[in-house]
């Protein structure tokens, strides 16, 4: 076994959204950069998370829409009952993933970033060993960036394997289960649970809290809960999973009434959260300050060790790809000598359920806890012409603004395709917009975006369409 050595300025461990963006930006700035990735470029997001899940959600919605037009349709469409080949759906999804990951590789090459395929093992803050086949590559660096991401949380009494799957396996099924039990009603559990239901599986969701999406407020959750009911998804709230049934085909749980009951299922999706990937690559050798399970960083993503940086999920909540990307870009610019700090006014969070949920900035409940005197106003999609034409009138847009100067501090929305409004929401907050700025901006008609203007108008006391 040979030991080869290499020197670079920046060494990035992890080729997910944070890591590859940091490497690309560093390359653009002329910083010699090496990126180490043991799996596929693009990380969880491109390969087994954000992108493939949205592809599956789209396929499920297309199938559901086609099914809804079988027989009588209010749109006058007449179609026979459709069928679906889930293996072809997965192949289509994999094609999208392959194009995107290939694009990442091309961008890294274009910007002079060397990609090393293999699993990194940290020796010290300036040295990393990478196993490449039978040889070991020792890379010495001036700056080390940890972008190792996160992994699904596994229940100790119900480990992944067999009929128990994580989101990774749920996004690449070779067949559809007759009955899927989803453990956890957060955004991952609901997104995939709804998709499987629309694909034709029977779905039951088990959640320890008293409602679905416990991280969101009641008003935002109500339309989602109504949609779950309309889709025929069974809910067991205030219920705890005890383990698998003896034959492995289902789970034992304690329901809200304290009774122990059995739920038969031919597949169980455990979606109870994600944890930082801090094990298996020698992180402990650095003796970094930690924040619980996460690596502690400051507002420049510096760790407690000089010239060791960390970004993304490994540094804590919110575990969002776009947060990691922004942090990665910033770190590269700081290393290049630019003055940067990670102090966003807001980071958008989107739940791609049916209907979708967007939260940006401060909610009315959070404003009250912070002692901020705020106005909040909502505009329903039931009064929006575009929503009517899309047959998607459930939900609303809500704005939160300071009462004294009308500066907008938060936006929330629930409804069909509201994820596409998130850019306008976060831009208004970053730019320090007031209610009058949004209310006075001409919005295209007919669009869902008109509800944004109407929410601002309503907060000022003169909405036009309600």
Q: What is the DSSP string of 291-343?
A: ETTEEP--TT-B-SSTTEEE-GGGG-SS--HHHHHHHHHHHHHHHTT------
Task: Decide if 233 contacts 202 (C-beta within 8 A).
Answer: no
Give the number of C-alpha atoms closer than 13 A to the C-alpha of residue 180, restricted to the C-beta side.
Answer: 30
Contact present, 1 and 136 (Cβ < 8 Å): yes
Name which of 179, 332, 350 is nearest 267 in CA terms: 179
Strands 164-165 and 267-270: parallel
Nearest residue to 126 (alpha-carbon basis) of 280, 295, 284, 9:
9
Token pair listed for 112:
């002079």
Q: How far apart are CA 29 and CA 34, in angstroms?
A: 14
Q: Of 270, 359, 278, 350, which Cα lies nearest the Cα of 316? A: 278
CA dist., res. 264 & res. 257, Å (int):
19
- The Cα–Cα gap between 454 and 460 comes to 10
Helix (H) or strand (E) holding 50: helix 50-68
The token duo for 255 is 């329901």
Region of 355 (left: φ > 0; alpha: ψ -120 to 50; beta: rest) is beta
DSSP H or E run through 282: none
Enzyme catalytic residues: 445
Chain centre distance of CA 4: 38
Candidates 257, 224, 178; CA nearest to 395 is 224
Q: For residues 146 and 38, give the distance between their C-alpha atoms in angstroms, rounded to a whole number.
A: 14
């Amino acid at each position: 076994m040979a030991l080869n050595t290499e020197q670079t300025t920046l060494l990035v461990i992890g080729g997910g959204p944070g890591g590859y963006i940091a490497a690309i930006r560093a390359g653009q700035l002329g910083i010699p950069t090496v990126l180490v990735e043991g799996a596929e470029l693009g990380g969880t997001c491109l390969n087994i998370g954000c992108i493939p899940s949205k592809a599956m959600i789209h396929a499920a919605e297309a199938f559901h829409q086609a099914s809804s037009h079988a027989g009588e349709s209010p749109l006058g469409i007449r179609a026979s009952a459709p069928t679906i080949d889930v293996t072809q759906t997965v192949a289509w999804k994999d094609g999208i993933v392959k194009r995107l990951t290939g694009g990442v590789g091309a961008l890294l090459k274009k910007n002079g970033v060397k990609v090393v395929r293999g699993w990194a093992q940290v020796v010290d803050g300036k040295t990393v060993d990478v196993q490449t086949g039978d040889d070991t590559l020792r890379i010495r660096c001036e700056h080390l960036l940890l972008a190792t991401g996160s992994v699904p949380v596994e229940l100790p009494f119900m480990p992944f394997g067999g009929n128990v799957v994580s989101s990774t396996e749920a996004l690449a099924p070779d067949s559809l289960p007759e009955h899927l039990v989803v453990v956890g009603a957060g955004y991952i559990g609901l997104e995939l649970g709804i998709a499987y239901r629309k694909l034709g599986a029977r779905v039951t969701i088990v959640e320890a809290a008293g409602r679905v999406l416990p991280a969101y407020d009641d008003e935002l959750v109500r339309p989602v809960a109504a949609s779950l009911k309309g889709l025929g998804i069974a809910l067991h709230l205030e219920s705890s999973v005890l383990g698998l049934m003896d034959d492995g085909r289902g789970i034992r749980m304690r329901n809200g009434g304290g009774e122990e009951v059995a739920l038969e299922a031919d597949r169980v999706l455990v979606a109870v959260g994600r944890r930082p990937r801090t094990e298996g690559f020698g992180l402990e050798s650095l003796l970094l300050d930690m924040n619980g399970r996460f690596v502690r960083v400051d507002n420049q993503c510096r760790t407690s060790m000089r010239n060791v940086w960390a970004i993304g999920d490994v540094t804590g909540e919110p575990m969002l790809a776009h947060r990691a990307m922004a942090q990665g870009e910033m770190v590269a610019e700081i290393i290049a000598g630019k003055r940067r700090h990670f102090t966003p006014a807001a980071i958008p969070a989107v739940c791609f359920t049916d209907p979708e949920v967007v939260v940006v900035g401060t909610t009315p409940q959070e404003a009250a806890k912070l002692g901020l005197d705020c106005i909040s106003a909502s505009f329903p999609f039931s009064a929006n012409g575009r929503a009517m034409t899309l047959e998607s009138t459930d939900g609303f847009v809500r704005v939160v603004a300071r009462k004294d100067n009308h500066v907008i501090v938060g936006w929330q929305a629930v409804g069909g395709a509201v994820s596409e409004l998130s850019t306008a929401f976060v831009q208004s907050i970053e730019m320090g917009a007031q209610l009058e700025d949004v209310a006075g901006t001409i919005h295209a008609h007919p669009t869902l975006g008109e509800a944004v203007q109407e929410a601002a108008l309503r907060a000022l006391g003169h909405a036009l369409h309600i």
